[in-house]
Amino acid sequence: MTKPAFNLTWHALSAHREALGEQHLNEIFAADPARAARMQLEACGVFLDYSKNRVTDETLTLLFGLAREAGLAEHTTAMFEGARINTTEARSVLHTALRRPAGASLGVEGHDVMADVVAVRERIRRFSEQVRVGSWLGYTGRPITDVVNIGIGGSDLGPLMVCEALQAFAHPGLRMHFVSNVDGVQIDDVLKKVNPQTTLFIVASKTFTTQETLTNAHTARSWLIGHAGSDAAVARHFVAVSTNAEAVSAFGIDTDNMFGFWDWVGGRYSLWSAIGLPIVLQIGADAFDRLLAGAHAMDEHFRTAPLEQNLPVIMALLGIWNIDFLDAPTQVIAPYHQRLHRLPAYLQQLDMESNGKSVKLDGSPVRCHTSPVIWGEPGINGQHAYFQMLHQGTRFAPIDFIGVLDHPAHLDHHHRVAFANMVAQAEALMRGKSAPEVEAEMRAAGLAEERIRALIPHRVFPGNRPSNMLLLERLDPFGLGALIALYEHRTFVQGVVWGVNSFDQWGVELGKQLAARVLEDLGATSDSNPHDASTAALIERYRQHARAGDPAR
């Protein structure tokens, strides 16, 4: 793939990559064991060891130069100050304002956005306290026991991931449920489990026009009214989180029960806004403030630390090195704490929706690879599944290992086993196992010579597979806030270097448009089916099935 011709440092990096050749991490470590101590960093309770990347000091110097050449400092200032850096939507990008402490002001185009942020925060605090202490009552006068968040994409993934991660801080009397899929099965399952008298629905939608969310919300509303016998119950059981007061009203939710946010909060950056309401309900407003504080601490670190000691910058540049110079097509996220099991899905949206672009801000082609495929699962499960490919596959995939040091005393043994596995996997991926090692091992085990010859190629591990090791001191609101903000800024830095707009998402529009057409055609009684032959046949198959009736019903 052609590299950006204008960028001298890019060319220098290409030449440097050629010079490094296939130098193995084992050799690099043997020549310079001190790199382990040099290539580690800690900020805001997050520790990073990046020494197992296929980089030398020279690589890093060049990469820092790349960030400088891309104008990272100027772009960062522009984002934090509220310039309209989301140019295709003419919007500011101010999720960092959402985690500023109360008392700070931030004037953007003559308006103090912090006054708005703090006002909504206060309303959420009052409302969530009422629910949490049991004084917000349902239509029969009973307190709330279940909260159902209905939203999708950015209005689902963040709150869901954080609620899962912070289970240890959860209110014991409130059960959280998340409904995003419009297939009907998910809402059906939840409605079977909850009691209409004690269930609070949050309809979370920035635009309040999202088909999936509104379909689920209408179903939930009808279910509630069906049980309560009157739509007066909606006021006690439905709240909305949105920027669209008119649509919230039209749906039948009083805007007194609506928590607002602003067009400068992108969906995938919105868990810090009112979209975080399920989190506040689950862990309380004080703990939510600590989540914001962790993210704010990372914002400050990112804004002020020199590039060479800047966690998000280093992770971003290592990612660019892996993607564009070592040709890694994917990036694995492997958390070793079960409560972080939704983190890979959350980061998949953050990264792939932000940087999955092929044109630059000015509309010209990017000419290098941008967002990798982000994927993953809890690492310990992955070891018994996808790690085979990581160790011996033909494509290499850099890995972020994410561990947590603190753990309950009674889980000490379990924690030690999990931690040992995480560290060993990073070591194995880097170290590999050579043919002579494999041979000696099999000979010691007494295998026949012929068998040894046949098995060697299968049992060799090439190693030299890079990884980052991220360690959280503990999985608490502050640490999690810092970790999420770290990845947000990593994504931002990569977007700046690639020159793309990380804050729009035009790529999701075409499917939505066509879905509206197909939906109409599925129900059409005429023979009209104006699609390509494949799509038309699928639509016809659906229609035939509908006409015949489902025999299973």
Angle between helices 449-459 and 435-444 (to 10 degrees): 140
**CB nearer to ligand G6Q: pick between 149 and 205:** 205
CB 244, min distance to ligand G6Q, A: 8
- What are 494's two structure tokens? 């990569």
The Cβ-side half-sphere exposure at 22, using a 13 Å CA radius, reads 2
Options 45, 82, 154, 477; binder of ligand G6Q; rule CB under 6 A = 154
Options 59, 149, 180, 210; binder of ligand G6Q; rule CB under 6 A = 210
The interface region with ligand G6Q, picked from 201-209, 217-225, 287-295, 438-446 by CB under 6 A, is 201-209
Options 93, 152, 292, 347; binder of ligand G6Q; rule CB under 6 A = 152
- The residues that bridge with 202 in the sheet, in sequence order, are 149, 239
Cα separation of the two ends of the chain: 53
Options 65, 153, 344, 432; binder of ligand G6Q; rule CB under 6 A = 153
Annotated catalytic residues are 353, 384, 512
Beta strands in 110-237 (DSSP E): 111-112, 146-150, 175-179, 199-204
Instruction: State the Cα–Cα distance between residues 347 and 484, nearest whole angstrom.
Output: 9
CB 108, min distance to ligand G6Q, A: 20
**Given the structure tokens 């310039």, which residue do they identify?**
83
**CB nearer to ligand G6Q: pick between 86 and 383:** 86
The interface region with ligand G6Q, picked from 89-97, 141-149, 175-183, 206-214 by CB under 6 A, is 206-214
**CB nearer to ligand G6Q: pick between 132 and 268:** 268
Binding to ligand G6Q, residues 115-144 (CB under 6 A): none
Instruction: State the Cα–Cα distance between residues 310 and 319, nearest whole angstrom.
Output: 14
**CB nearer to ligand G6Q: pick between 265 and 390:** 265
**CB nearer to ligand G6Q: pick between 131 and 248:** 248
**CB nearer to ligand G6Q: pick between 10 and 259:** 259
CB 1, min distance to ligand G6Q, A: 27
CB 154, min distance to ligand G6Q, A: 3
The interface region with ligand G6Q, picked from 146-154, 288-296, 427-435, 526-534 by CB under 6 A, is 146-154
**CB nearer to ligand G6Q: pick between 88 and 167:** 88
Binding to ligand G6Q, residues 476-515 (CB under 6 A): 505
Contacts of 15 (CB under 8 A, 6+ apart): none
Instruction: State the Cα–Cα distance between residues 452 and 455, nearest whole angstrom.
Output: 5
- What are 147's two structure tokens? 């909260």
Sign of CA dihedral 168, 171, 172, 174: negative
**Given the structure tokens 């820092």, which residue do they identify?**
64
Instruction: State the Cα–Cα distance between residues 78 and 61, nearest whole angstrom.
Output: 25
Binding to ligand G6Q, residues 9-48 (CB under 6 A): none
Contact assessment for residue 180 and residue 152, using Cβ atoms and an 8 Å cutoff: yes
Binding to ligand G6Q, residues 162-191 (CB under 6 A): none
Q: Count the residues of the shown chain that bind ligand G6Q, applying the rule CB under 6 A.
A: 14
Dihedral angle computed from the Cα positions of residues 183, 185, 190 and 195, in that order, rounded to the nearest 10 degrees: 110
The interface region with ligand G6Q, picked from 43-51, 116-124, 150-158, 332-340 by CB under 6 A, is 150-158
Chain residue whose CB lies nearest ligand G6Q = 153
Contacts of 446 (CB under 8 A, 6+ apart): none
**CB nearer to ligand G6Q: pick between 454 and 514:** 514
CB 213, min distance to ligand G6Q, A: 5
- What are 187's two structure tokens? 């809402």
The interface region with ligand G6Q, picked from 108-116, 203-211, 420-428, 541-549 by CB under 6 A, is 203-211
**CB nearer to ligand G6Q: pick between 274 and 328:** 274
Interface pattern 240-279 for ligand G6Q (x via CB under 6 A): --------------------------xxx-----------
Is position 342 an interface residue for ligand G6Q (rule: CB under 6 A)?
no
Q: Which of 36, 280, 47, 39 is nearest to 166 (CA)?
A: 280
Options 52, 54, 206, 489; binder of ligand G6Q; rule CB under 6 A = 206
CB 387, min distance to ligand G6Q, A: 30
**Range list of H helices, 432-550:** 435-444, 449-459, 477-498, 509-523, 533-548
Instruction: State the Cα–Cα distance between residues 403 and 411, nearest whole angstrom.
Output: 15
Options 130, 207, 392, 529; binder of ligand G6Q; rule CB under 6 A = 207
Contact assessment for residue 313 and residue 493, using Cβ atoms and an 8 Å cutoff: yes
Other Cβ atoms less than 10 A from the Cβ of 32: the count is: 14
**CB nearer to ligand G6Q: pick between 205 and 468:** 205
Options 146, 164, 353, 488; binder of ligand G6Q; rule CB under 6 A = 353
Tell me the CA distances in angstroms from 358 to 3, 259, 320, 495, one per residue in order. 13, 35, 15, 11
Instruction: State the Cα–Cα distance between residues 92 and 490, nearest whole angstrom.
Output: 19
Q: Which amino acid is at 295?
A: A
CB 341, min distance to ligand G6Q, A: 20
- Local structure of 473: helix, strand or coil: coil
Interface pattern 368-407 for ligand G6Q (x via CB under 6 A): ----------------------------------------
Q: Give 409's DSSP letter.
A: G
Contacts of 240 (CB under 8 A, 6+ apart): 202, 203, 204, 205, 208, 248, 251, 253, 257, 258, 259
- Contact footprint for ligand G6Q (CB under 6 A): 152-155, 205-207, 210, 213, 266-268, 353, 505
